[in-house]
Amino acid sequence: MAISELVYSLPALTVLTTLAAVFLHPSFIEAVSLTAVMLLMFLTSVTLGFTLSTFSSDIMQSFATSSLISILFSTLPPVYLPITCIPLPYRYLAYLSPTTYAAGIAHNATGFLQLYPAALLLDWAVLIGVTSFLALIAAKKARWREV
């Protein structure tokens, strides 16, 4: 199902990749960084969705859960703006979502926001750690059922 979503999204990804190449002119390292962060977020979403779906007995419950997680992943963190635009007391809420760290890496790679090397390394470590943790949970705690 996850690969089918990628195929379904391929036209939009192609247009966005072309626009990024035309307007941002990313270097090879920046392009690799953007690709890696998108793949890590894809893996994070897939493992989280897979794990949660194994605990759900009703398809409607799965849709509701996935909608809530999608909203939290896309609206809570500063995906479309830099983290510095969020007022300080609320900024800590944004750090609860792994997309905040992915957005920081992407913003740094495109030159939208300059991060200190230590902050960039922390963003990578958190994103890789969250992805690994969710993959471990998916492998160990998912409930397998016979059809």
Q: Where are the domains of the chain?
A: 27-141
Say whether pLDDT at 144 is over 70.
Answer: no
More confident residue, 73 or 37: 37
Crossing angle of the two packed helices 28-55 and 59-75, in degrees rounded to 10: 150
Confidence (pLDDT) at 46? 85
Percent of the chain with pLDDT over 70: 96
DSSP annotation string for the chain: -HHHHHHHHHHHHHHHHHHHHHHT---HHHHHHHHHHHHHHHHHHHHHHHHHHHH-SSHHHHHHHHHHHHHHHHHSS-SSS-GGGS-HHHHHHHTTSHHHHHHHHHHHHHTSSPPPHHHHHHHHHHHHHHHHHHHHHHHHHPPP---
Distance CA 66, CA 119 (A): 30
- Confidence band of 51 (pLDDT split at 50, 70, 90): confident
Cα dist. 26→39, 42, 89 in Å?
17, 21, 33
Indicate the residue type of 15.
V
Confidence (pLDDT) at 32? 94
Give pTM, 2 decimals.
Answer: 0.83
